[in-house]
Amino acid sequence: MTSQDDLKGRPHTYLFRPGLWQADGVYYDGQEKPHVQSGELLVEHAPHVWTIDSRMNVSGQDRRDFVSQYMVTPFKEGVSFTEWTSQTGGPEPVFGLFVVVQESILMPWHSQSGQFWGQEVLSSVNPDLYLSRGFAFIQDRKAYSWAVRLVRLSGGEAGPPGPASAGPDGPAPESPGDAESSGGPEGSGCPESPVGGDDWGERAKGRKMALPESIRKGELGRWLVGIALAVPTVAAVLVDNKLWILVVGLLAGGAAWWEFAANLFGARYRGLAVLGLFGWAATACGTCFFEAEGQGAGLALSLALGGIYLMRILPGGTDAVSVNLLSRYALGHLYISFFLSFVFLIKTMEDGSRLLIFVILVTALADTGAIYAGTRLKGPKLYPKISPGKTLSGVAGGCVAAVAGALFSRLYLPDFFGALELAAIGLCLSLWGVLGDLFESAIKRALGVKDTSKILLGHGGFWDRLDSLLFNLPLFYYYLHMRLLP
């Protein structure tokens, strides 16, 4: 027997490492109608047999559930292919092969009678993500096909660097999840969803910026990027002309929206990304110039345009794919457009500039304190299923930094804030910001990505940078609104 380590240049985590994989994507029936597909695959190794237990469901009016088990003969030494059989996938036994070809695993198969046959290709993006494409025929008639992503939820470490475990610039960084697909005759493969996966954002994320290694990998890069972001932000907040804060807000929110769309819609629905940017601009401008009334009008316009767009481009305006896409589009406007627009509402309040500096400063200090305390003190994990890197010591460090920053803010905030009140606000913003961080982590976990982009060295993307602030802005605004009521 052999392991993936013996297949030099062709290392794989799927199949060669025991583990649990989450699948999500699209299943196309015989009439090419798309349905949402999801499920899990469990890979286990015994001395003389490997097994893949697949549980999949296809949503829609005719919901279908697939439960299959594949018995795989372990790879022999020096051989890049092996056989598998399945007795539970259909009305008759199914036989197939696993053939390793560089970053791909090919999977041809056929039923015992030969009337039912198909092919699947599993392509490794990184050790925690596989893309699956496959089809099934009954004689000469296409029965179904799928496009799926598989994300690794648990399992062994990846093998040595190679095409299957490395991105464009080498071994991929550790990711909170892994996308893989184990397809087969009964649709057990996890098609890649048209709302994620093969998109322009995924391709851009692997590219490294042409900066010296000492800056790219060290703390200096993180601090330089932080300063570069802080200077225009503080300047825009302090200037009385609201156009400055509008321009900076449009750019930051637009970058976050683009990253959100790149990860959740994919290149096939790039029109939704453009509509998302337009909707964010409408919400931001409406809030900046007309406050709460303009905020609501901008959001309503954004959602209406998204619904019209989807009804025009999708053949079935009420199927599961349409609902999935519209839900993600609406989530983007609630989560990014609506939450971030509270920047403009706080800015228009009395002493709004100083109050806005306060919430941004406290949130940034909480994030920074959490990073440094968590990496140095380590300790128990906060919520490893969603965010494996976050620790309780990091949360505590963030709280301490936020309270210290809130107390420091007495130097420039209005006199009606007492020290105890400021400390309580700092503590609440720190803890509430953790929820914002976990919320974004849950989305990334489901998508199988570590960072929303690589545009900000040491920070990921703009969406990564804004995750806590998005939750803190509305909380702080409504507190101020109630606090300042006569």
Query: Is residue 202 domain-resident?
Result: no
Shared-domain flag, residues 153 and 187: yes
DSSP-based three-state secondary structure for 460: strand
Which residues have a Cβ under 8 Å from the Cβ of 153 and sit 6 or more positions away?
Answer: 19, 20, 21, 22, 40, 177, 178
CA distances from 332 to 101, 165, 259, 326, 459 (A): 39, 31, 11, 10, 21
Query: Is residue 399 domain-resident?
Result: yes
Q: Are 202 and 262 in contact (CB under 8 A)?
A: yes
Shared-domain flag, residues 327 and 380: yes
Query: Is residue 168 domain-resident?
Result: yes
What is the reported pLDDT for 388? 79
What is the reported pLDDT for 60? 62
Query: Is residue 80 domain-resident?
Result: yes
Distance CA 405, CA 311 (A): 49
Shared-domain flag, residues 178 and 297: no
What is the reported pLDDT for 319? 57
Domain end position, chosen among 193, 223, 241: 193
What is the reported pLDDT for 87? 64
Query: Is residue 148 domain-resident?
Result: yes
Give the rounded distance of the alpha carbon of 288 from its chain centre: 30
Q: 3-state DSSP helix/strand/coil percent for the chain, to nearest 5?
A: 45, 25, 30
Shared-domain flag, residues 311 and 389: yes
Helix 242-264 and helix 270-313: axis angle, to 10°?
70
Q: What is the mean pLDDT of each run of 10 residues along the chain (486 residues)?
A: 45 88 89 88 86 82 71 89 76 85 92 86 91 91 91 61 29 32 38 34 38 50 79 88 93 94 78 91 96 94 88 62 83 95 94 94 94 89 85 95 95 87 96 95 77 74 92 96 78
Q: Are 250 and 280 in contact (CB under 8 A)?
A: yes
State which H helix or E strand residue 130 sits in.
Answer: strand 129-138
Supply the DSSP symbol for 179.
Answer: B
Shared-domain flag, residues 279 and 376: yes
Shared-domain flag, residues 99 and 218: no
What is the reported pLDDT for 251? 95
The residues facing 297 across adjacent strands are none
The tally of domains found in the chain comes to 2
Distance CA 179, CA 126 (A): 9
Query: Is residue 206 domain-resident?
Result: no
Shared-domain flag, residues 363 and 430: yes
Distance CA 407, CA 430 (A): 14
Query: Is residue 292 domain-resident?
Result: yes
Token pair for 273: 């990304």
Shared-domain flag, residues 463 and 329: yes
What is the reported pLDDT for 176? 30
Shared-domain flag, residues 219 and 187: no
DSSP-based three-state secondary structure for 68: strand
CATH of the domain at 79: 2.40.128.20
Domain with 184 in it: 4-193
Nearest Cα neighbor of 131 from 76, 56, 193 is 193
Token pair for 161: 């660097």
What is the reported pLDDT for 403? 97
Shared-domain flag, residues 431 and 306: yes
Shared-domain flag, residues 158 and 225: no
Supply the DSSP symbol for 335.
Answer: I
Shared-domain flag, residues 321 and 351: yes
Query: Is residue 284 domain-resident?
Result: yes
Asked whether the CA dihedral 30, 33, 38, 43 is positive or negative, the reply is positive
